[in-house]
Structure 1
Amino acid sequence: MSGLTHTEVTSELILAAVLKSLDDNKAEETVQIDLRGKTSVCDHMVICSGRSSRQVASIAQKLAEDLKHELGVLCKTEGEETGDWVLIDAGDVIVHVFRPEVREFYQLEKMWMPLGKVTQSAT
């Protein structure tokens, strides 16, 4: 763990670590949504895809490990058993890792982003 105290771990630090872990672990079509001022649940939502159930579960597991080791952030996860849609709650950052078909069905980006504002990071 880095030398940061719990109070020094900001949502921006968590977001940066999340995006790095997802990129390192070959997550696809990563989208980040700034939710500050829109909900009290979290500051940021990140949505990405894995190619298979196995990759989805692996991305989620590795993300939780990376956040714990790098920032001391303990995550709650749901959905790892099936690997269709895994939710990782890292406090101020919520991450959804989907299989592409499941992501298309739920279309979370459209629910949270203003019309015409869905942007994807280059992965």
Structure 2
Amino acid sequence: MDNQTLLKTVVKACDDKRAEDIVVLDMRGISLIADYFLICNGNSDKQIQAIAREVKEKAEEAGTAVRRMEGFEEGKWVLIDLGDIVAHIFNRDERNYYNLERLWGDAPTVSAESVLQ
């Protein structure tokens, strides 16, 4: 599966579980870690876990193996490594504290709406 299709799958999975403030950072040429970071937040530990579960299930259904998932049990910041795409699912306080959008401020932002079209 190509990165654009996988990115669309991941954004849609987050959107389907009502993730808030979905942001995609284009990390190509900036970081060797991944081509894209997806950042979003949920309103509760249960919602964050539901979003993470949906991302994992939809990625696997599309034929992409989840390399690693961290933080699921705590439900504060779940990191899902899908290879060229890394999803960060936060609670609002953790997201504000770590502020990955600012940390990776050089990365162009891709709107979730444009990914879904």
Residues paired across the two proteins, number: 112
Deviation at 1:121, TM superposition (A): 4.1
Match of 1:111 among 103, 108, 111: 103
Question: 2: CA distance between counterparts of 1:119 and 1:11?
Answer: 14
2:23 aligned residue (31, 38, 43): 31
Give ranges in structure 2 of 5+ residues lacking alignment.
none
Please give the residue correspondences for 1:18-97 in structure 2 after superposition, counting only pairs within 5 Å: 18-69=10-61, 71-75=62-66, 76-97=68-89
For 2:4 and 2:35, how far apart are their aligned partners in 1?
9
* CA deviation after TM superposition for structure 1 residue 10, in Å: 1.3
Report the residue type matching 1:19 in the other structure.
Answer: V
Q: Which structure would you say has the larger Rg?
A: 1
1:11–1:43 Cα change, 3 Å: same
TM (norm. structure 2) is: 0.88
- Secondary structure of 1:31's match? strand
Q: Spell out, residue by residue over 1:23-50, the C-alpha distance to the aligned partner (whole angstroms, 9 max, x if none).
A: 1111000000000111111100000000
Deviation at 1:119, TM superposition (A): 7.0
Point out where structure 1 has 5 or more consecutive residues left out of the alignment: 1-8
- Structure 1 runs (4+) deviating above 6 angstroms are none
Counterpart Cα distance in 2 of 1:111 and 1:36: 15
CA distance, structure 2, for counterparts of residue 118 and residue 12 of structure 1: 14
Q: Any conservation in 1 of the 2:34–2:86 contact (CA below 8 Å)?
A: yes
Identity %, equivalent residues: 35
- Who is 1:3 aligned against? none
* 1:110 and 1:118 in contact (8 A); partners too: no
Secondary structure of the residue that 2:101 maps to in structure 1? Answer: helix
In structure 1, the residue matched to 2:91 is: 99
- TM-score scaled by length of structure 1: 0.84
Supply the AA of the counterpart residue of 1:93.
I
What is the identity, as a one-letter code, of the residue corresponding to 2:48?
A: V
RMSD: 1.7
Amino acid at match of 2:82: A
